Homo-oligomer: A and B are copies of this chain.
Amino acid sequence: MDPEEFRRAGYAVVDWIADYWSTLGRRPVVSPDPPGAVAAALPPGPTAHGEPVDAVLADLDALIAPRLTHWQHPGFFGYFPANTSGPSVLGDLVSSGLGVQGMLWATGPACTELETVMMDWLAGLLDLPERFRSHTRGGGVIQDSASSATLVATLAALHRASGGRWREVGVDRRYRAYTSTHGHSSIEKAARIAGLGADGVRAVEVDPGSQAMRPEALRAAIEADRAAGDVPAIVVATIGTTSTTAVDPLPEIGAICAEYGIWLHVDAAYAGAAAVCPELRWSHAGLEHADSYCFDPHKWLLTGFDCDAFWVADRGELIEALTVMPEFLRNAATESGAVIDYRDWQVPLGRRFRALKLWFVLRWYGVEGLRAHVRRGVELAARFADRVRADDRFELAAPHPFSLVCFRLRSGDDVNAALLARVNGTGRVHLTHTRVDGAHTLRLAVGSPYTTEAHVDEAWELLRTGADELLAR
Contacts and interface: CB of A to CB of B under 8 A. Distances in A.
B99 A71 contact: yes
Nearest to A50: B366
A111 interface: yes
Given A84-B99, A169-B197, A170-B171, 17 more contacts: A6-B86, A6-B89, A13-B94, A17-B97, A20-B97, A45-B124, A49-B366, A52-B364, A53-B90, A82-B350, A93-B96, A144-B350, A188-B324, A192-B324, A193-B347, A305-B350, A328-B433
Nearest to A364: B50
A39 B117 contact: yes
A259 interface: no
Q: How many copies does the complex hold?
A: 2
B170 A109 contact: no
A47 interface: yes
Nearest to A52: B364
B39 A85 contact: no
A86 B197 contact: no
Interface residues of A, number: 153
Nearest to A371: B48
The 10 closest A-B pairs by CB, nearest first: A195-B195, A1-B86, A171-B195, A10-B14, A170-B197, A17-B97, A38-B113, A6-B86, A67-B110, A50-B366
Contacts of A16: 94, 97
Interface stretch (A208-216, A355-363, A376-384, A464-472): A355-363
29 contacts: A1-B86, A6-B14, A11-B14, A14-B14, A17-B93, A33-B109, A35-B333, A39-B116, A45-B121, A48-B367, A48-B368, A49-B367, A50-B365, A51-B363, A52-B364, A53-B87, A55-B363, A67-B110, A69-B106, A83-B99, A93-B96, A145-B348, A147-B350, A151-B193, A168-B197, A169-B199, A186-B349, A194-B194, A347-B347
Contacts of A192: 166-167, 322, 324
Contacts of A198: 167-168
Nearest to A21: B3
A396 interface: no
Most central of A82, A86, A330 by chain B CB within 10 Å: A86
Contacts of A94: 13, 16-17, 60
